Amino acid sequence: MPERVRILEVGPRDGLQNEPRSVPTAAKLRFIAALADAGLNEIEASSFVHPRAIPQLADADALFPAGPKDDGVRYSALVPNARGLDRALAAGVRRIAVFTAASETFAQRNVRMGIAQSLAVCADLIARAKVAGLGVRGYVGMSFVCPYEGDVPKERVRPLVERLLELGADEVGVSDTLGAATPREIRETVGHLVARVPAARLALHLHNTYGTALANVLAGLDLGLRSFDAAAAGLGGCPYAPGAAGNLATEDLVYMLERMGYATGVDLERLVAAGAAMATQLGREPDSRSWRVRGSVRER
Amino acid sequence: MPERVRILEVGPRDGLQNEPRSVPTAAKLRFIAALADAGLNEIEASSFVHPRAIPQLADADALFPAGPKDDGVRYSALVPNARGLDRALAAGVRRIAVFTAASETFAQRNVRMGIAQSLAVCADLIARAKVAGLGVRGYVGMSFVCPYEGDVPKERVRPLVERLLELGADEVGVSDTLGAATPREIRETVGHLVARVPAARLALHLHNTYGTALANVLAGLDLGLRSFDAAAAGLGGCPYAPGAAGNLATEDLVYMLERMGYATGVDLERLVAAGAAMATQLGREPDSRSWRVRGSVRER
């Protein structure tokens, strides 16, 4: 039996929140349904952030059904504050993600509060989520390289990961928000983490700004991690991280993992089609190699 | 002192031979000079193949100076046959590359002869090259995955590598010509190789069709390899390998290696500029992440 690797599809949230063009709710629902149909069973569908902060995700409430959907897919939403959690609960969300960062400057610019204050917000959100029986993921943004502060010391990352887990998070997404890390930083920082934290409670959230994301996945696999975030068509970027490009393309992650003998449960052809449809909606080309190679073969 | 990693820049040969648009000789000379100026000290400048087979490289003779150039750069050329070697010697080439493949079908389609016959050609070429005092690299194409034959067994690759070294090649470029390999195949096949062949005599020649090239570099580094091929701007593809995309972009290789603490001797800014100038000449965008991220920062 091939070993299973989990993929959290973050295209509808981390991807679309950073695309300049807004997408109609109906197209988002089609995108999410197509991702689920391709076999992705963990999908971060939106963020209950203030609509003025990220207008692209203002329709988060409309993306979740009234109750839990019985299709075997875990839909989740990012929740930045108490008001967001109220909305998420009203929308029937069963799994949330909370966010802090390992760079003080980035935290200030991204969530307009320092790391300590953002941890306090996470604590409140996780406590309320647990009472409501929700699943919780924590994110530690800018865990490797920060556009403002440069290299992020591993000693700054581990206490944040441990704190989120102590607070009750089921898992933590250790994030290369800038997409500038290489396997050296992954091995240093994640190696430091897995000395104290079970690898099963860690995920790598990678952007592909410098093309190193799949090499970083390999470094993560070698350290025992079996959970990675990605976005169909490599959607995204980050307005608060100058130069940051999109997330690692789910298509390319699936290609590498499946060929390496891991099971992802994803049908790559359907996934390529789902990513291409959303890219068309956005008026851009999908940023995945698996899409491109199919195009080049079609042209023959 | 950071450890040195060698990069063979193959853009002028493997890149341009697979680009649909031909490039004037003067532009090639500017490209090669710009690559050398960026610090690349091993450059495969062209191929002395029959001009009808690859019209894009018909001007190989004009790219080499009459004698060895005293700029510390090792310029080399691919040589497919005796006539090609005559031309290379006449042009003053000091280092050649010869080619065979680990897939019988690909060998037949690419060089119009079987593996055994291509090895015999390599033997003749290497013998003559050694008499003339030339350096020699051997290539083993399609060492991992073949578009016609599928997975290539490692047991088929090692004898070819060993034979080329026995014949007198200084090193062998083990090639993922299709760009479909993942770290699993690299670890299997290159692991099998380094059990018998010194890692210092091996290089990895990677294409990035499925985005796995840098992950494959990491697998190679872990196995002790310190020599990798790449093409500025990710130029290339392969007309005999359906779906194959360009070479690993030198820019992205340099980014990852330098950030991992290896010394490449390359100035990334100059390299990005050299690749962008050639891409403009070809009427396409550079296919490197390092180029794109600079563009996205410029737009701000």
Interface check for A189 against chain B (CB to CB < 8 A): the answer is no
pLDDT in tens, A120-155: 999 999 999 999 999 999 999 999 999 999 999 999
Chain mean position to CA A272 = 18
User: What pLDDT is recorded for position B149?
Assistant: 94
User: What pLDDT is recorded for position A300?
Assistant: 44
Interface check for A297 against chain B (CB to CB < 8 A): the answer is yes
- pLDDT: which is higher, A66 or A53: A53
Q: How far is A193 from chain B (nearest CA, A)?
A: 19
Q: Which amino acid is at A249?
A: A
User: What pLDDT is recorded for position A163?
Assistant: 98
Q: How far is B294 from chain A (nearest CA, A)?
A: 7
Q: Mean of the pLDDT values across residues A181-210?
A: 98
B281 CB-contact burial (10 Å; exposed 0-12 / middle 13-18 / buried 19+): middle
List residues bridging with A136 in a β-sheet.
A96
The full length of chain A comes to 300
Interface check for A214 against chain B (CB to CB < 8 A): the answer is yes
CATH architecture of structural domain B6-298: Alpha-Beta Barrel (3.20)
Interface check for B264 against chain A (CB to CB < 8 A): the answer is no
User: What pLDDT is recorded for position B63?
Assistant: 93
Distance, in Å, from the CA atom of B255 to the CA atom of B294, rounded to the nearest integer, reads 13
CA angle B205, B208, B213 (to 5 degrees): 65
Q: How far is B49 from chain A (nearest CA, A)?
A: 24
CB contact under 8 A, A218 and B184: no
Q: What contacts B158, CB < 8 A, 6 or more positions away?
A: B192, B193, B196, B197
User: What pLDDT is recorded for position A243?
Assistant: 64
Q: How far is B157 from chain A (nearest CA, A)?
A: 19
User: What pLDDT is recorded for position A19?
Assistant: 83
Interface check for A217 against chain B (CB to CB < 8 A): the answer is yes
CB contact under 8 A, A215 and B211: no
pLDDT in tens, B242-279: 666 899 999 999 999 999 999 999 999 999 999 999 99
Q: How far is B272 from chain A (nearest CA, A)?
A: 13
**Mutate: best of B151, B206, B209, B214, partner A, most A CBs <10 A:** B214
Nearest Cβ partner for A256 among B215, B242, B260: B215
Nearest Cβ partner for B293 among A185, A209, A215: A209
User: What pLDDT is recorded for position A284?
Assistant: 87
- pLDDT: which is higher, B296 or A92: A92
Interface check for B256 against chain A (CB to CB < 8 A): the answer is yes
Please identify every residue of B annotated as catalytic: 238
Binned average pLDDT, 10 residues per bin, chain B of 300 residues? 96 91 93 97 97 93 73 94 97 96 94 94 98 98 95 98 98 96 98 98 97 98 98 80 81 98 98 96 92 69
Q: Mean of the pLDDT values across residues A72-84?
A: 96
Contacts of A293 in chain B (CB under 8 A): 209-210, 243, 245
Interface check for A33 against chain B (CB to CB < 8 A): the answer is no
Closest CA to B148 of B118, B124, B180: B180
Interface check for B272 against chain A (CB to CB < 8 A): the answer is no
Say if CB A183 and CB A219 are below 8 A apart. Answer: yes
pLDDT of A297 above 70: no
The complex's ipTM works out to 0.95
Smallest CA–CA distance from B294 into chain A, residue: A243
Say if CB A177 and CB A99 are below 8 A apart. Answer: no
pLDDT in tens, A234-286: 998 655 556 668 999 999 999 999 999 999 999 999 999 999 999 999 988 89
CB contact under 8 A, A255 and B210: yes
Q: pTM here? A: 0.96
Write the DSSP symbol of residue B137: E
Q: How many CB pairs under 8 A join A and B?
A: 102
In the residue annotation, A146 being an active-site residue is answered as no
Confidence of residue A66 (pLDDT cuts 50, 70, 90): low
User: What pLDDT is recorded for position B110?
Assistant: 85
User: What pLDDT is recorded for position B300?
Assistant: 44
Say if CB A290 and CB A44 are below 8 A apart. Answer: no
Exactly one of A5, A101, A186, A238 is catalytic; name it.
A238
Chain mean position to CA A39 = 17
**Mutate: best of B5, B289, B290, B291, partner A, most A CBs <10 A:** B289
The CA-based dihedral angle spanning residues A271, A274, A278, A280, taken in that order and rounded to the nearest 10 degrees: 100
Q: Which amino acid is at A75?
A: Y
* Residue whose pair of structure tokens reads 């851009």 in the numeric block: A284
Interface check for B150 against chain A (CB to CB < 8 A): the answer is no
